Copies of this chain bind each other. A is one copy, B any other.
Amino acid sequence: MNSQTIGNLHSMFYPQAIAIIGASSKPGKIGYALLKNIVEYGYEGRVYPINPERGEILGLETYPRVQDVPEKVDLAIISVPAQGVPGVMDDCAKKCVRGALIITSGFSEVGEEGRKLENQVLEIARRGNVRVIGPNMMGIVNTAGKLNALFVLPKAIPGEIAFISQSGAMGNAILSLGSKLRIGFSKFVSIGNMADIDFSDLLEYLENDNDTRVIAMYIEGLRDARRFLRVAERVTRTKPVIVIKAGRSKAGARAITSHTGYLAGSDRIYDAAFRQARVFRTNSIEELFDVAKAMAYQGGLAGRRVAIVTNSGGPGIMASDACEDQGLTVSELDQVTVNRLREGLPRICSTKNPVDLVANADPERYRFAIETVAGDPQVDGVLVILTPPDAIIPRGSTTIAQEIVSLTRVLKKPLVTSWMGGVEVEEGIMVLEEHRIPNFPTPERAVRAMAFMSRFPSRKK
């Protein structure tokens, strides 16, 4: 990709002025929802609703055509019927708009006639150097620029994960689930039919985006797989790329063809290529979230040796089993470490790994044990488990979380947690995650995330 594309994409993510072509004053219309979301999310640039009828929408003056806007337009968002898009694109080209999101559907995804229309639009765009995301997409988000250009309810919270989705509704569900799980996004792109901008372009753009630490994608098919892999091979040297490639099964591949018109492609080839490019492939949305969060918050593990600190034997055992499943090692602690633990902990505690601090473990005991095991050269990362201690230590799950947060400021090794339970541990989990300690509802999921972190040993915290 030439630097010009990067420039265009940058203008689209950080526009000074946006035109919404097909803006509507009717609640329920996409052209109304788009405008409302942009305004309500706090966008600080100028917004120009474009509508043939003169007037105001949400207090903003409308303009009949994009050419009538009294300043340069960086981003045009197009939501007019498909047949009207070529004309609108012509206007955008004349206005020297840097980029357009074509929300409208009814293009190549519906068959031959749509494909012709899509090509026609693209030709006009190319001539005018307007870069296009879409058509058949639901918008983009840039939380750092306070831009929420989606026609569904805005819900992305700021964070370090960029997410690109080839399914609009899937992207919407992911944003919604993310906000429930307090997972933050830097950028979000519903990529649509990829008439112009595709996964590789965005990958190159995100490679140098300082707000993005982890890139996640939902892919149904690639236009140019070779280019994608070439780009991914470079990007994954500095940022983890996590991918769901749907349509692995016969049933799934059939469904893709009727969904986007894409061929899913041979799954084995995808698998091999992803491996070569160090792209992490997952088959589950839950795993995608878990590993993205872990990498965004804590970065890579220098090795595969884990220390487990817990206030309850059972979950420590479950975590040990999970480590072996996932190819991690439950470290054999150095004799010096064991001796220190033995001196500093009550006799009833287990000083082997997993270190069991037993039910009445207080914040100080947790701190001492974590500091001690993290100082062991045999340990690359620490998993801290807690089952509700609140019957014995009032607000224990919160105060222990606070102690760990203060400890991680000086700790040199990655740390993840599993505060297990419901309402009793919720406050503690909030404390942990606000301070970038990734928490998982079960030890198994925490261990799975650590196994992923160990794939990026070179990454600095």
- Residues of A at under 8 Å CB distance from B? 28, 33, 110, 151-153, 155, 165-170, 172-173, 176-181, 218, 220, 244, 246-252, 254-256, 258-260, 283-286, 311-318, 320-325, 330, 348, 350, 352-354, 356, 359, 387-388, 390-392, 420-425, 441-442, 444-445
- In the complex, which of the residues B248, B325, B388 contacts A321, with contact meaning CB atoms closer than 8 Å? B248
* Interface-centre pick from A220, A324, A388 (highest chain B CB count, 10 A): A388
B172 touches A388 (CB 8 A): yes
Give the chain B neighbours of A180 by CB distance below 8 A: 421-423
- In the complex, which of the residues B155, B220, B391, B424 contacts A314, with contact meaning CB atoms closer than 8 Å? B220
Q: A28-B392, A153-B388, A246-B318 are in contact. List 16 more A-B contacts (CB 8 A).
A: A151-B391, A152-B390, A155-B423, A167-B315, A169-B311, A169-B313, A169-B359, A173-B387, A173-B420, A173-B421, A178-B422, A255-B313, A256-B313, A259-B350, A259-B356, A283-B322
List 26 interface pairs A-B (beta carbons < 8 Å), by A numbering: A110-B348, A165-B314, A167-B313, A168-B359, A170-B312, A170-B314, A170-B315, A170-B387, A172-B387, A172-B388, A173-B388, A173-B420, A173-B421, A177-B441, A246-B321, A251-B324, A252-B320, A255-B356, A258-B350, A259-B314, A260-B313, A283-B318, A283-B444, A284-B444, A285-B444, A286-B445
* Interface-centre pick from A284, A316, A321, A391 (highest chain B CB count, 10 A): A321
Within the complex, the shortest CB–CB distance from A98 to chain B, in Å, comes to 27
B251 touches A323 (CB 8 A): yes
Within the complex, the shortest CB–CB distance from A100 to chain B, in Å, comes to 21
A388 touches B353 (CB 8 A): no
- In the complex, which of the residues B28, B170, B249, B311 contacts A320, with contact meaning CB atoms closer than 8 Å? B249
Give the chain B neighbours of A283 by CB distance below 8 A: 318, 321-322, 325, 444
Bound CA span A354–B251, Å = 8
Give the chain B neighbours of A391 by CB distance below 8 A: 33, 151-153
Give the chain B neighbours of A315 by CB distance below 8 A: 167, 169-170, 173
Give the chain B neighbours of A320 by CB distance below 8 A: 247, 249, 251-252, 254-255
Nearest residue in B to A445 (C-beta to C-beta)?
B286
Give the chain B neighbours of A311 by CB distance below 8 A: 169
Bound CA span A354–B252, Å = 9
Q: Given contacts A314-B166, A324-B249, is CB(A352)–CB(B179) below 8 Å? A: no
Within the complex, the shortest CB–CB distance from A327 to chain B, in Å, comes to 11
B420 touches A176 (CB 8 A): yes
B388 touches A255 (CB 8 A): no
- In the complex, which of the residues B33, B155, B348, B353 contacts A422, with contact meaning CB atoms closer than 8 Å? B155
- In the complex, which of the residues B151, B248, B314 contacts A167, with contact meaning CB atoms closer than 8 Å? B314
Give the chain B neighbours of A348 by CB distance below 8 A: 110
Bound CA span A177–B444, Å = 15
Give the chain B neighbours of A444 by CB distance below 8 A: 283-286
* Interface-centre pick from A286, A314, A322, A421 (highest chain B CB count, 10 A): A314
Nearest residue in B to A246 (C-beta to C-beta)?
B317
Give the chain B neighbours of A330 by CB distance below 8 A: 249, 251
B421 touches A255 (CB 8 A): no
A422 touches B285 (CB 8 A): no
Give the chain B neighbours of A181 by CB distance below 8 A: 422
Nearest residue in B to A444 (C-beta to C-beta)?
B284
Bound CA span A165–B317, Å = 14
Bound CA span A300–B233, Å = 46
Give the chain B neighbours of A244 by CB distance below 8 A: 318
Nearest residue in B to A254 (C-beta to C-beta)?
B352
Bound CA span A387–B171, Å = 9
Bound CA span A177–B286, Å = 17
Give the chain B neighbours of A247 by CB distance below 8 A: 317, 320-321
Q: Given contacts A258-B356, A388-B153, is CB(A176)–CB(B421) below 8 Å? A: yes
Within the complex, the shortest CB–CB distance from A38 to chain B, in Å, comes to 14
Q: Given contacts A251-B353, A286-B445, is CB(A422)–CB(B177) below 8 Å? A: yes
